Amino acid sequence: MRFGTRELLDIAVAWAALSVAFALFFGGGGRTILYRPGVLVGLLPASLVTAGLGFLLHEMAHKVTAIRFGQVAEFRADYGMLFLAVAGALAGFLFAAPGAVYHQGRATLRENGLIALAGPLTNVALGMVFFPLELLLGGTLGSVAALGVRINFLLAGFNMIPFGPLDGNTVKTWSIPAFLGFGLPCFALAAWAFFGLSFV
């Protein structure tokens, strides 16, 4: 798997911007900077690991799956959306659409659906990896793991929304049963992560 210079730059910028956006969002938005800057400073390293890893593995899952289906695939950042992510987090809401893996080549509807599905499912898997760490670890590491659970479940649910260029729309176009079968659990996990709901 190869990476071009521009692709690596776009990945680095998207990683940094998303990490700042998630740190601001979980830290309370713009008021964090004004009244509690220490919260942002404390959350940013954890966000770099959790949001950064979630973003990177999500996009790499798209890329690996596309390449497996014989596609040429590269990530391109959307700088306007990255600005919106940071600005929105300052205002207290989160819209995480950092860019996309663009792929070229002959692909069936099913293959395109599977390429799209690979990203959200990777976030679910990563959230499941962080979950036992949250339960078992205490202190700072446990807090980082908790952030990893919530960020990855939110990313999975958001990306499965059947709208515009989001993964859910591609999956729904391919197969309604696949969209419902994978999308509904992603939405439920995202709701739990966002609202702190309990299913027991």
Residues designated as active site: 59
Question: How far apart are the C-alpha atoms of 174 and 167, rounded to whole Å?
Answer: 11
- The amino acid present at 25, given as its one-letter code, is F
Q: How many helices (H) and strands (E) does the chain have?
A: 8, 2
Burial of 153 (0-12, 13-18, 19+ CB in 10 A): buried
3-class SS of residue 142: helix
Bridge partners of 72, per DSSP, are 104
Question: How far apart are the C-alpha atoms of 32 and 13, rounded to whole Å?
Answer: 22
Beta-carbon contacts of residue 12 (< 8 Å; ≥ 6 apart): none
Contact 47, 23 (CB under 8 A): yes
